């Protein structure tokens, strides 16, 4: 079986460090390893509209921002097909057919959807399009015969639902669709990077994100005012590294190289942690190191972004070509699906 990697993001704002460690970094690594037959990364604008239908400008503007984020972290259009979801008409068509295979109760049980309904305060006025998005996401995945879907932990229920739909389809109409598998980062700190305020997740609405396009000054301000261990009042106090976002970020981002480069009195994070836990290590010093680490990562990303911002026509060409290629693939899957469903009238 072919190895086909696919993943996407909703364009609702710029991508941040949480996206970087939770998914983007992994994608670039997969791309560089080259151990796949096809790889797709796409901008899920149709899905973004399911809960931002009244804010089309935000979605439209974010499409370009997210593509710039993709290109600046190193996704390479020669190796990865980058496309826009709404330019692939086979996706809503597949969604329509899959809708027959899912009950309302099953959709309402999806824990990620459930959480979002609460968070968005839909109450009992849940838009059909929103509730339906796990089905539409199944279309995204199956249209490309994706076998591997690198995502954040919060997307596991979507993949579960996609697999159910695939099994159900294949059962009824004969073996047609490919069952996908989720791929989540193995580093626990990468799976759920907290906000700079210590809240569970980086989220635009909470204003606790460090964005990939933030400049050095902004990053410095954000890092130096990060939440740490509230009981670590004096330098000599023993500190807690466990639920301390500064250490969680270091866990997710720092390497031994970074220690060599910026904080050579310690060989690695374990040593730094041990010192902090014992007492005698101040927050400012740790934060300065974290700032250096983040800058080390963001500097080349900013440079690439600048290049693409200055060559924006190139970005549009990448999207246009990627979407054409993606269309050919999705259309061929749609053909297979319609044949299996006996609605291939004049073929
Ligand atoms: N739901 C994903 C998110 O919120 C975006 C997405 C849409 C996606 N379709 C997908 C991810 C298909 C992986 C595969 O970020």
Q: Please give the pLDDT value at position 295.
A: 98
Please report, to the nearest 10 degrees, the dihedral formed by the alpha carbons of residues 34, 36, 38, 40 taken in order.
-70
CB of 82 closer than 8 Å to CB of 27: no
Q: Read off the pLDDT band of 187 (50, 70, 90).
A: confident
Q: Measure 84 CA to ligand 1 centroid, in angstroms.
A: 12
C-beta 65 within 6 A of ligand 1? no
pLDDT exceeds cutoff 90 at 119: no
List, for residues 265-295, the tens digit of each pLDDT value: 999 999 999 999 999 999 999 999 999 999 9
CB of 206 closer than 8 Å to CB of 174: no
For ligand 1, mutation pick of 62, 81, 151 (most atoms within 8 Å of CB): 151
Say which range, 26-40, 48-62, 194-208, has the weakest mean pLDDT: 194-208
What is the chain's percent helix, strand, coil content, to nearest 5? Answer: 60, 5, 35
Q: Read off the pLDDT band of 313 (50, 70, 90).
A: very high
Q: Measure 110 CA to ligand 1 centroid, in angstroms.
A: 15
CA distance 116 to 157: 13
Residue 150 alpha carbon, nearest atom of ligand 1: 13
% of the chain at pLDDT higher than 70: 100
Residue 44 alpha carbon, nearest atom of ligand 1: 7
pTM higher than 0.75 for the full model? Answer: yes
Q: Please give the pLDDT value at position 204.
A: 82
Q: Please give the pLDDT value at position 152.
A: 84
Q: Read off the pLDDT band of 185 (50, 70, 90).
A: confident
pLDDT exceeds cutoff 90 at 328: yes
Q: Measure 47 CA to ligand 1 centroid, in angstroms.
A: 8
What average pLDDT does the segment 129-137 reach?
Answer: 97
E-assigned strand segments in the chain: 4-9, 38-43, 81-84, 148-150, 181-183
C-beta 8 within 6 A of ligand 1? yes
Q: Read off the pLDDT band of 132 (50, 70, 90).
A: very high
- Which residue has its alpha carbon closest to ligand 1 atom 14? 7
Q: Please give the pLDDT value at position 80.
A: 98
C-beta 9 within 6 A of ligand 1? yes
For ligand 1, mutation pick of 12, 44, 157 (most atoms within 8 Å of CB): 44
Q: Measure 137 CA to ligand 1 centroid, in angstroms.
A: 6
- Tell me how far apart the terminal alpha carbons of the chain are, to the nearest angstrom: 26
* Size of the chain in residues: 347
pLDDT exceeds cutoff 90 at 120: no
234 by Cβ neighbours in 10 Å (0-12 / 13-18 / 19+) ranks as: exposed
What the block records as the tokens of 128 is 């059909």
C-beta 185 within 6 A of ligand 1? no
Q: Please give the pLDDT value at position 190.
A: 79
Q: Please give the pLDDT value at position 199.
A: 87
The mean of the pLDDT values for the chain is 95
For ligand 1, mutation pick of 4, 5, 6, 9 (most atoms within 8 Å of CB): 9
CA distance 124 to 131: 12
Q: Please give the pLDDT value at position 71.
A: 98
- Gyration radius from the chain CA atoms: 22
Q: What is the DSSP string of 183-252?
A: E--SSHHHHSPPPTTS-SS--GGGT---BTT--HHHHHHHHHT----TT--STTS----TT-HHHHHHHH
What average pLDDT does the segment 134-154 reach?
Answer: 95
Q: Which residue has the tokens 């250096």?
A: 292
- Which residue has its alpha carbon closest to ligand 1 atom 8? 8
Residue 6 alpha carbon, nearest atom of ligand 1: 14
């Amino acid at each position: 079986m072919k190895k086909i990697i696919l993943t996407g993001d909703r364009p609702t704002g710029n991508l941040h460090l949480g996206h970087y460690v939770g998914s983007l970094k992994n994608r670039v690594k997969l791309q560089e390893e080259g151990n796949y037959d096809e790889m797709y990364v796409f901008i899920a604008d149709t899905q973004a509209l399911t809960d931002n239908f009244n804010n089309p400008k935000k979605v439209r503007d974010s499409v370009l921002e997210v593509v710039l984020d993709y290109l600046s972290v190193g996704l390479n259009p020669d190796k990865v097909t980058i496309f826009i979801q709404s330019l692939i008409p086979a996706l809503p068509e597949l969604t329509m057919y899959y809708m027959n295979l899912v009950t309302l109760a099953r959709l309402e049980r999806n824990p990620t959807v459930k959480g979002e309904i609460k968070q968005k305060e839909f109450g009992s006025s849940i838009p059909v399009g929103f509730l339906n998005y796990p089905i539409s996401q199944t279309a995204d995945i199956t249209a490309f015969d994706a076998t591997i879907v690198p995502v954040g932990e919060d997307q596991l229920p979507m993949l579960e639902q996609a697999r159910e739909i695939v099994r159900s389809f294949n059962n009824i109409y004969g073996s047609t669709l490919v069952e996908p598998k989720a791929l989540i980062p193995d580093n626990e700190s990468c799976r759920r990077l907290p906000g700079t305020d210590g809240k569970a997740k980086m989220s635009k609405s909470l204003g606790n994100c460090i964005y990939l396009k933030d400049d050095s000054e902004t990053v410095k301000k954000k890092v130096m005012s990060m939440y740490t261990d509230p009981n670590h009042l004096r330098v000599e106090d023993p500190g807690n590294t466990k639920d301390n976002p500064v250490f969680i970020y270091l866990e997710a981002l720092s390497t031994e190289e970074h220690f060599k480069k910026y904080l050579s009195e310690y060989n690695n994070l374990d040593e730094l942690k041990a010192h902090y836990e014992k007492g005698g290590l101040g927050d400012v010093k740790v934060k300065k190191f974290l700032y250096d680490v983040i800058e080390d990562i963001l500097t080349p990303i900013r440079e690439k972004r600048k290049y693409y911002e200055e060559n924006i026509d190139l970005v549009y060409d990448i999207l246009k070509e990627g979407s054409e290629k993606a269309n050919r693939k999705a259309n061929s899957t749609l053909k297979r699906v319609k044949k299996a469903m006996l609605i291939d009238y004049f073929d």
